[in-house]
Amino acid sequence: MTEPLLSATGLSKRFPNGVAAVDDVSLSLRRGEILGLVGESGSGKSTTAKMVLRLLRPDAGQVVFAGHDLTRATGAQLRRLRARLQLVPQSPQTSLNPRLTVGEAIAFNLRAHGWRRSAIQARVADMLDRVGVPPADAGRYPHEMSGGQVQRVALARALATDPELIVCDEAVSALDKSIQAQVLNLLAELQRETGVAILFISHDLAVVEHIADRVAVMYLGRVVEEGDTHQIWTAPNDPYTRELLSSIPPIR
Amino acid sequence: MSELLEIENLTVDFVAGQRVAHAVRGVTLRLGAGRTTVVLGESGSGKSVTARAVMGLLGGGARVGGAVRLGGESLLDLNERAMRSRRGRDIGLVPQDPGGSLDPLRKVGAQVAEVLRAHGVLTSRAARRERVMELLTLAGIRTPERVAKSYPHELSGGMRQRVVIAAAIACGPRLLIADEPTTALDMTVQAQILELFGSLQRELDMAILLVTHDVGVARLMASSVVVMYAGRVVEEGPGDRVLDRPAHPYTAALLGAQPHPGVPRGELVGLPGLPPSATTVTEGRCALVPRCAHAVAECSTTSPVLEPVTDGGSVACPVPWTADERRVG
Amino acid sequence: MAISPPSPRSRPPAALVAGTVAVLALVLVAALAPLLPLPDPDVGDLSHRLLSLGSPGHPLGTDGQGRDVLSRLVWGTQASLVAGLVPVAVAGTLGTLLGIVAGLGGPRLENTVMRGLDVIFAFPAVLLAISIAASLGAGLVSMLVALSVILVPAVARVVVTEVAGLRELDFMQAARASGARWPTIARWHVLPNILPQVSVYCSALVGLCVVLGAGLSFLGLGVAPPRAEWGAMVDDLRQHVFTAPLLALLPAAAIFLASVVFNVLGEGLRSHFDVRSRHTA
Which residues in chain A touch residue C170, judged by CB atoms under 8 angstroms apart? 89-91, 94-95
Mutation target for B interface from C1, C10, C279: give the one with most B CBs within 10 A: C1
- A100 min Cα distance to partner chain B (Å): 24
Furthest C-alpha separation in chain B:
68
B259/A249 CB distance under 8 A: no
- Cβ atoms of residues C100 and C186 within 8 Å: yes
Taking residues A220-243, report their average pLDDT.
94
Chains contacting chain C through 3 or more C-beta pairs under 8 A: A, B
**Angle in degrees, CA A144, A145, A146, rounded to 5:** 135
C3/B23 CB distance under 8 A: yes
Which residues in chain C touch residue A85, judged by CB atoms under 8 angstroms apart? 177
**Kind plus residue range of the DSSP H or E element containing B61:** none
Question: Which of A55, A83, A154 minimises the CB distance to C176?
Answer: A55
Q: Could you give all domains of chain A from N- to C-terminal order, each with its CATH number?
A: 1-84+165-252 (3.40.50.300), 93-162 (no CATH)
- B16 min Cα distance to partner chain C (Å): 6
Taking residues C165-184, report their average pLDDT.
92
- B178 min Cα distance to partner chain C (Å): 13
- Which residues have C-beta within 8 Å of that of residue C204, sequence separation ≥ 6? C262, C263, C266, C267
For residue C6, pLDDT over 50 is answered with no
> Strands, E, within chain B: which ranges?
5-16, 19-31, 36-40, 62-70, 73-74, 91-94, 175-179, 207-212, 224-229, 232-238, 307-308, 314-315
- Taking only residues 118 to 177 of chain C, the set having a beta carbon closer than 8 angstroms to any beta carbon of chain A reads 169-171, 173-177
* ipTM computed for the complex: 0.90
Task: Using CA coordinates, name the residue in chain A closest to C195.
Answer: A99
Question: What tens-digit pLDDT sequence spans chain B (329 residues)?
Answer: 578 999 999 999 998 888 889 999 999 999 999 999 999 999 889 999 999 999 988 877 899 999 999 999 999 999 988 998 899 899 999 988 877 889 999 999 999 999 999 888 888 899 999 999 999 999 999 999 999 999 999 998 899 999 999 999 999 999 999 999 988 888 888 989 999 999 999 889 899 999 999 999 999 887 899 999 999 999 999 999 999 999 999 999 999 999 988 899 999 988 898 899 888 988 899 999 999 989 999 999 999 999 999 889 999 998 888 776 666 66
For residue A231, pLDDT over 60 is answered with yes
**Kind plus residue range of the DSSP H or E element containing C51:** none
Gap between the Cα atoms of C214 and C259, Å rounded: 11
Mutation target for A interface from C163, C169, C170: give the one with most A CBs within 10 A: C170
Local confidence band at C93 (pLDDT 50, 70, 90 cut-offs): very high
Rounding to the nearest 10 degrees, give the CA dihedral for residues A197, A201, A202, A205: 60
Taking residues A26-39, report their average pLDDT.
96
How big, in percent rounded to 5, are the helix, strand and coil portions of chain C? 75, 0, 25
Chain C contact for B59 (CB, 8 A cutoff): no
Domain boundaries C61-280, corresponding CATH code? 1.10.3720.10
Digit-coded pLDDT (tens) for A160-211: 999 999 999 999 998 999 999 999 999 999 999 999 999 999 999 999 999 9
- Per the prediction, chain B carries an average pLDDT of 91
- Per the prediction, chain C carries an average pLDDT of 85
First to last CA, chain B: 48
pLDDT of B221: 87
B213/C1 CB distance under 8 A: yes
Digit-coded pLDDT (tens) for B8-38: 999 999 988 888 899 999 999 999 999 999 9
Chains contacting chain A through 3 or more C-beta pairs under 8 A: B, C
Gap between the Cα atoms of B323 and B301, Å rounded: 23
A154/C177 CB distance under 8 A: no
Q: Is the peptide bond before C226 cis (omega within 30 degrees of 0)?
A: yes
Which backbone phi and psi does B6 adopt, to 5 degrees? -125, 120
Query: By percentage, how much of chain A surpasses pLDDT 70?
Result: 99
pLDDT of C218: 87
Gap between the Cα atoms of C185 and B288, Å rounded: 43
Q: How many CB atoms lie within 10 A of CB C171?
A: 24
- Cβ atoms of residues A125 and C200 within 8 Å: no
Q: Could you give all domains of chain B from N- to C-terminal order, each with its CATH number?
A: 3-90+173-325 (3.40.50.300)
- C154 min Cα distance to partner chain A (Å): 25
- Which residues have C-beta within 8 Å of that of residue C189, sequence separation ≥ 6? A97, A100, A108, C166, C171, C172, C175
For residue C2, pLDDT over 60 is answered with no
Residues linked to residue C190 through DSSP beta bridges, in sequence order: none
pLDDT of C4: 39
Least-confidence region, from C127-131, C191-195, C226-230: C226-230
CA separation, residue C192 to residues A38, A151, B100, C97, C166 (Å):
36, 22, 32, 13, 11
- Cβ atoms of residues A136 and A125 within 8 Å: no
- Taking only residues 48 to 77 of chain A, the set having a beta carbon closer than 8 angstroms to any beta carbon of chain C reads 50, 53, 55
For residue C88, pLDDT over 70 is answered with yes
Query: By percentage, how much of chain C surpasses pLDDT 90?
Result: 28
